[in-house]
Amino acid sequence: MTPEDENTDILSQNPKTIAYTDPLTGLGNRRRLMDKIRKLASERADDPAPFTIGIANIDGFKPINDLFGHAAGDEILCQVAHRLRACLPDGGFVARIESDEFAFVLPLVFEKKGAEKIGRMFKDVLSAPYDLGDRNVRLSASFGFAVYPFAGEQFAELLKSADTALYRSKRRGRGQITVYSEEIAEEMRHGTQVEQALRRAIIADEVEVHFQPIVNLADRSIQGFEALARWTDGELGFVSPSLFIPLAEERGFIDSLTETLLKKAAETAKHWPSDLFLSFNLSSAQLTDPATAFNVLAIINRVGLDPRRLELEITETAMMSDPEVAAKVVDELHSIGIRVSLDDFGTGQSSLGRLREFAFNKVKIDRSFISEITIDKSAEHIVRAILAMCEGLNLKVIAEGIETEEQAEKLKELGCRTGQGWLYGKAVDSAATFALIEAQQKASADSAKLYILNH
């Protein structure tokens, strides 16, 4: 019987059955899932033999509704339900508990390895194309599992543990599988602690901006600076931006953090010599917000920074979440005089295509290639190819992560003109940045005097 047949059947069922059934897919709903888990836990209470519950969430489901309409979305959900029910192991049960979220009970799966094995099987089944009549659509799913009684003994506790594991899977990317553990719970608790401290720090204006020089490789003269977030909490100590920036994105307050940082960076940069530019990173959330160009312009106008001195860095990964909106944001930024760079170039899966679709001004070669450029011929060949390609496309190039003189010499030999990295200076606060600029100005003035004296 297909889900459609079952949906018709539901109309003739008694009210109690309807109350426990998802009307779209014919699967059980959350109430039915709760009854199943409570009954199984009660049966095993005296001799708590383990069993597993899991949650599957369809990755990127919302754009399907947006692109193809809700009828197509409903059809996919019915196909997901059919696939999950068809491949359930013995004794298993599956329910639809939210829009694109399905939960299952696995009475004969007793431990982590068994849950991961089932997860991989479900993942493969759900990754096959979905037939929408005039087109096929490919999707992936993320999974979170919890094993009774280790992850909880009551329905709410077990479901919360599975949801925690699912959340961690979603943080790691698409198509991930996570089984709940105390380590994961501790990681989540720490994440919440960091989140609360960061929210307070933003309100108290305690997140700082440091600046790393971007230089001309030939003479080491400073061309501009990249703004980088730095935060030291009274209790947590120094917190890496690789932790708190993604956390702010995930928890939905990256906009307030970015606005604060851009305002601080622009206020500093407007006092630099006018030939120096400010480079600033946009988040993936901002690339999917049609108001981004307006918001950025409003900030720098209030501060008084010329938009032609601002360069915004975006990553290919960020663009991929909604390429259409991202392209519109990039075009609008260009229209107001702001330059746009593609960061971490070479690490994405379709970077060449992105260079054709988006009008970038610069490309930043990812540090993973630069770190290997003097010891790995393949890294050297990749950098050489990127430089040649960008020259053909009239794109400027910045090499990131230069740490040794050997790397700098190799890059110059290959024709790279601009770079940044610890060799030329770590990120420093605004006062130290001004000191760097003054030192360069003094050195330039001294060189000019020496030239005049000698001629």
- Choosing from 145, 180, 215, the residue where a domain stops is 180
CATH number, domain of 39, equals: 3.30.70.270
Do 315 and 174 lie in a common domain? Answer: no
Whether the Cβ atoms of residue 222 and residue 437 lie closer than 8 Å to each other: yes
Do 268 and 122 lie in a common domain? Answer: no
Give tens-digit pLDDT for 254-278: 999 999 999 999 999 999 999 999 9
Do 357 and 432 lie in a common domain? Answer: yes
Do 149 and 265 lie in a common domain? Answer: no
User: Averaged over 313-332, what is the pLDDT?
Assistant: 82
Give tens-digit pLDDT for 399-439: 999 999 999 999 999 999 999 999 999 999 999 999 999 99
Please say whether the dihedral angle defined by the alpha carbons of residues 315, 318, 320 and 325, taken in this order, is positive or negative.
negative
Annotate 331-365 with b (16+ C-beta within 10 A) or e (fewer). Answer: ebbbeeebbbbbbbbbebeebeebbeebebebbbb
Structural domain range at position 124:
3-180
Residue % of the chain over a pLDDT of 90: 63
Give tens-digit pLDDT for 106-147: 999 999 999 999 999 999 999 999 988 888 888 999 999 999
Is 358 within the bounds of a domain? yes
Give tens-digit pLDDT for 300-314: 999 999 999 999 999
Is 194 within the bounds of a domain? no
Measured from the Cβ of residue 322, the count of other Cβ atoms closer than 10 Å reads 17
Do 370 and 232 lie in a common domain? Answer: yes
pLDDT on residue 438: 93
Is residue 322 over pLDDT 80?
A: no
Whether the Cβ atoms of residue 66 and residue 137 lie closer than 8 Å to each other: no
pLDDT on residue 66: 75
Q: Which of 313, 315, 312 minimizes the C-alpha distance to 297? A: 312
Write 184-193 long-range contacts (CB < 8 A, 24+): 185/161, 188/164, 191/247, 193/236
Pairing of strands 51-58, 141-148: antiparallel
Is 195 within the bounds of a domain? no
For the chain, helix (H) and strand (E) counts, in that order, are: 19, 16
pLDDT on residue 4: 39
Do 117 and 214 lie in a common domain? Answer: no
Do 272 and 169 lie in a common domain? Answer: no
Is 37 within the bounds of a domain? yes
Mean pLDDT of the chain: 88
User: Averaged over 346-366, what is the pLDDT?
Assistant: 72
Is 101 within the bounds of a domain? yes
CATH number, domain of 293, equals: 3.20.20.450
How sure is the predictor about 15, in pLDDT bands with cuts at 50, 70 and 90? low
Is 453 within the bounds of a domain? no
Is residue 13 over pLDDT 50?
A: yes
Do 278 and 173 lie in a common domain? Answer: no
How sure is the predictor about 19, in pLDDT bands with cuts at 50, 70 and 90? confident
The region that residue 345 occupies, defined by phi over 0 for left and psi between -120 and 50 for alpha, beta otherwise, is beta
Tokens in use for 45?
A: 């209470």
- Choosing from 119, 147, 180, the residue where a domain stops is 180
Whether the Cβ atoms of residue 128 and residue 175 lie closer than 8 Å to each other: no
Is residue 6 over pLDDT 50?
A: no
Is 185 within the bounds of a domain? no
Give tens-digit pLDDT for 49-106: 899 999 999 988 887 777 788 898 999 999 999 999 999 998 999 999 998 999 999 9
Do 172 and 213 lie in a common domain? Answer: no
Q: Which of 326, 365, 320, 373 minimizes the C-alpha distance to 342? A: 365
Whether the Cβ atoms of residue 421 and residue 405 lie closer than 8 Å to each other: no
Is 74 within the bounds of a domain? yes
Do 224 and 322 lie in a common domain? Answer: yes
Is residue 178 over pLDDT 90?
A: yes
CA dist 226 and 209 (Å) reads 10
Structural domains in the chain (count): 2
Q: Which of 107, 114, 84 minimizes the C-alpha distance to 96? A: 84
CA dist 262 and 297 (Å) reads 11
Tokens in use for 418?
A: 């601009």
Helix (H, G, I), strand (E, B) or coil at 313: strand
Do 209 and 116 lie in a common domain? Answer: no
Residue with tokens 């309807």: 18
Do 212 and 132 lie in a common domain? Answer: no
